A and B are shown apart, each in its own frame.
Chain A
């Protein structure tokens, strides 16, 4: 009988409780146990960022995080970003700026972009295109060539701090 651990955590604002194997990754838990298939398994070793989710306000590669480690934490996935009112501002910017082609990497890319906008390490200064590109270094996209991705994030930078 293989070991299962009960964990409790907040998932997109809702308390969640379930049992997971100690070797299960957070990504597998989200996809297979919670039907949250927005985050993708594209490499499984933290090299592409397609599985990016927010844990306690910080993005991580959910393919590298064990599900047991979610216990007591706060998770936000791409499914928790949009509201009833519509797309979140970053999502809308990605749509409007044509950043999305096949879209497979986009849930991860958008979560990382959201994090970047909230955690501009140099808070006194507006992010430049180079800052944005650096912040998205861990997210591989094979369709867009990144230009429109950076366009979209740069537009949100302006929109969220217009001065």
Chain B
């Protein structure tokens, strides 16, 4: 369809008002939108809304133990954040394995989330942090915000719980508890410019060999990024030893439902799942 309107809101309120007319495509960094529209995988709607000028959607802050990352914050901003490097290094690590320098400079965190790829690289560490996304809408002539757990945000490949007239404004999560260790792995062999065959994050607090607050998130092994709850349950409160690792690996193997595609077979994705959970537990548990 031909674009009939082009709008450049400078505030969330303006953007959400624009969205109420429906039929709008949101443009942030453009790194996913451009190839999707040129290849025909995605069609432009009647209105193109460029949200790049909404300054209140940028930046990384912490307030009263809650972190907030504006939706337009770029992956480079995350990579270069001293705050995150000190307090939530797993996010910085994932950002370091995200595409290329040029794409990191343009891609927004909200864009990576809204694209809802099962292999979205930034999603995995955010799932470890039990992150929520904040969605701005417009009800009865006024701005209305709602929060939704990131894990519930994804409903399928490329599909989210966000309504067509909503805007993902920020990502929030609580400061990790004392001793919380989170690690991320992504398939190679390239360090970053790869669409993950499998990506995985494991987080836990380890005290005298016993794990608590265990979280396992896996990408590219199901229609959406997943939290491996059964695997977490196997590990929670248990002494991490070789047999527990075996048990966790077996549980993770049961929780994933990978497919064959041009990048990898289901077999290899399952295999990598087993390799990664062992490696990550080895790091997190030490």
Contacts and interface: CB of A to CB of B under 8 A. Distances in A.
A127 interface: no
Centre residue among B5, B27, B53, B102 by max chain A CB count within 10 A: B102
Contact of B31 (A22, A46, A68, A71): A46
Interface residues of B, number: 34
A65 B106 contact: yes
Contacts of A98: none
A18 to B, nearest CB: 15
Interface stretch (A30-38, A52-60, A145-153): A52-60
A134 interface: yes
Given A65-B30, A66-B30, A69-B50, A22 B6 contact: yes
Nearest to A5: B6
B105 A66 contact: no
A135 B30 contact: no
A64 B105 contact: no
Contact of A59 (B39, B80, B105, B193): B105
B191 A134 contact: yes
Interface string A125-149: 0000000001101110000000000
A68 B6 contact: yes
A79 interface: no
Interface string B2-19: 111110100000000000
Contacts, number: 93
A60 B106 contact: yes
A92 interface: no
Nearest to B35: A45
B50 A68 contact: yes
A61 B192 CA distance: 16
A139 B103 CA distance: 11
Nearest to A111: B102
Contacts of B106: 58, 60-61, 64-65
A104 interface: no
A46 B103 CA distance: 7
Contacts of B48: 22-23, 68
Centre residue among B8, B30, B31, B39 by max chain A CB count within 10 A: B30
Given A46-B99, A52-B102, A137 B34 contact: no
B37 interface: yes
Centre residue among B34, B39, B190 by max chain A CB count within 10 A: B34
Contacts of B27: 66, 69
Centre residue among A23, A46, A52 by max chain B CB count within 10 A: A46
Nearest to A47: B193
Nearest to A61: B102
B190 A23 contact: no
Nearest to A138: B100
Interface in B42-101: 44, 48, 50, 52-53, 76, 79-80, 99-101
Interface string A12-56: 000000000011010000000000000000001111010010000
A23 B31 contact: no
B31 A61 contact: yes
Given A22-B6, A23-B37, A64-B103, A138 B193 contact: yes
A25 B38 CA distance: 10
A2 B101 contact: no
B138 to A, nearest CB: 23
Given A61-B103, A63-B34, A138-B103, 4 more contacts: A46-B102, A52-B102, A69-B27, A137-B193
26 contacts: A2-B2, A2-B3, A22-B6, A23-B37, A23-B48, A25-B34, A44-B35, A45-B35, A45-B38, A46-B34, A46-B103, A47-B193, A52-B102, A58-B106, A59-B101, A60-B102, A61-B31, A61-B102, A63-B34, A64-B35, A65-B30, A115-B101, A121-B80, A138-B100, A138-B103, A139-B100
